[in-house]
Each structure stands twice: as structure tokens, then as C-alpha cells.
Amino acid sequence: MGSTVLSLRIDSELLDRLRQHAARRGMSVQDYVVQTLIRNDFDERFNAAVDETQKFYGADLRHAGPADRVT
């Protein structure tokens, strides 16, 4: 997997907050932003997979109670 440069323009207040969040985790701002994007991407792909599963089974599994779920 290759890498590509992404340049962002953000205001100083946001950058300061990002620095604080990254420092709490012992990360660089770049690593913190990348990890946040990866987590967001995973969440979106996971939700899409859940939606597809619901369509396939024709049930709202996300809101079903334990007794309503198929095991």
C-alpha cells in the first residue's frame, strides 16, 4: 500500500485542540488525524455492512431484543 500527501488548511484553534488530543495519547498530530480517519472509515463500512445484512435478512437486527435475534 502506497502513501500520498494530503495538505489541509485548518484554523489555529482547531490545530491547538488536535495537538492537545494527540498529546494526551502520546501521538503526533499527523498520527492522531490518520487514526481518527481510519476509525471513522471503519465505522462507516461497518454500518454499511450491518445495513446490507438487515436488507438480506429482511429484519431490523440492530433494534431486535436478544429473544428476537436468530442464532
d(CA 3, CA 30) in angstroms, rounded, equals 13
* Cβ neighbours of 19 (radius 10 Å): 13
CB of 19 closer than 8 Å to CB of 27:
no
Q: Determine the angle formed by the axes of helices 12-24 and 29-57, rounding to 10 degrees.
A: 80
The radius of gyration computed from the CA coordinates of the chain, to the nearest angstrom, equals 19
- Give the tens place of pLDDT for each residue, 19-46: 999 999 999 999 999 999 999 989 889 9
Give me the percent of the chain exceeding a pLDDT of 90.
48
Q: pLDDT confidence of 68, banded at 50, 70, 90?
A: low
pLDDT of residue 71: 45
CB of 57 closer than 8 Å to CB of 65:
no
